[in-house]
A = this chain, B = another copy of it.
């Protein structure tokens, strides 16, 4: 079958055969299908879709396009968590060590910031000396000894996804549920895990803006995982405002460490406990979610989770002493204040994320450098009652950035009527 015939068939709404999908991924991996044919097929898939059978084969071919990790020789279950991305989402940083402290191994491979949304790798690298580019031996060794490793994707893991993703970014084919799902699951299933907990963000600061789209993505991800023989649970969680207060990099790590110290913002702790309880359950460390919650809370409150995190920081080359002193942020501090009294009705979380990127906490282009000292703190949350002139947010930047502060101010809507806070965990799909 020539690739042009595969393109034509998908274009006309046909179901692609297993052979067509595997030939496509093999050609992408070898680099012998030209970009223009790949992008034509991606657009046809975007507009015509893939059924669950096609999607399973596509994902399987992508995950086998490179090395597939195998940790079956290490005792116990290996469980990971993946978030679809939001603003202020530092959950992995507290979650992974807490779960590891409870006896479930976490081989976590994270990504970089994308658009308005931050990335766990970028946040971890704001810890002085911390390395995320681990080789396979180091990765395995940390998972064996600490039960935890936090690394970036190596080049030989799902290489077909890397090429497809780069093309999707420039050809308007990002926002396709099957393509998103195949990209996420091909990487996660190559990690050698037994189970996966998914945090599918929904709302203004998420890539999925509506519950309907988020639910479809969650179901698609769970379906692929189950078809591959893995235990998968997806939580649909609110992304209509940043998680916690910190948006940036080192300030987000520091807030996650607050959670590891048994404190931290309520929503950040709650999401860590909820996701962790399910990871423990899927990893057979507890019998049910209630026991999982109790175990997670104990790990956070006892210091076990923090100890695991600090060991990992040291093992990955980071300077753990930064957590023993108050962090220092960029010198220019601007306070964004409420223009009137009332109730915070909405926060444009995507605008907050974009403002943080503009301030230097993320990348507008791939080659941009992140300034780890840039920090935004969002004090007000949806439903809060605020007084005119009270602080809504504080921005720390290297130079004065009145335009960015103005953008952040514009992200808050204040009204007269009381407003209920959004529910953090909206649905559970498994």
A: residues with CB less than 8 A from B are: 4-5, 7-8, 11, 34-40, 42-44, 46-48, 167, 170-173
Contact = CB atoms under 8 A, between A and B. Distances in A.
What are the 6 tightest A-B residue pairs by CB atom distance, in nearest-first order?
A7-B172, A40-B171, A43-B43, A35-B36, A8-B172, A36-B39
Number of this chain's copies in the assembly equals: 2
Residue of A34, A36, A38 with highest tally of chain B CB at under 10 A: A36
Contacts of A171: 4, 7, 36-37, 40
Contact of A170 (B4, B44, B172, B173): B4
A36 B166 CA distance: 11
A167 B43 CA distance: 15
A46 B40 CA distance: 10
A53 to B, nearest CB: 22
Contact of A48 (B7, B8, B38, B47): B47
11 contacts: A5-B172, A11-B46, A34-B170, A36-B167, A37-B170, A39-B39, A40-B42, A40-B171, A40-B172, A40-B173, A47-B48
Given A35-B36, A36-B36, A172 B44 contact: yes
Q: Is the interface of A mostly helix, strand, loop or mixed?
A: helix
Contacts of A39: 36-37, 39-40, 43
A46 B10 CA distance: 12
Contacts of A44: 43, 47, 172
Contact of A40 (B11, B34, B43): B43
A5 to B, nearest CB: 8
Nearest to A5: B172
A11 B170 contact: no
Contacts of A8: 172
Nearest to A167: B36
A40 B41 CA distance: 8
A44 B8 CA distance: 13
A303 B208 CA distance: 73
Nearest to A46: B11
Residue in A44, A46, A171 with the greatest tally of chain B CB atoms within 10 Å: A171
A319 to B, nearest CB: 40
Contact of A47 (B5, B34, B47, B172): B47
A278 B47 CA distance: 42
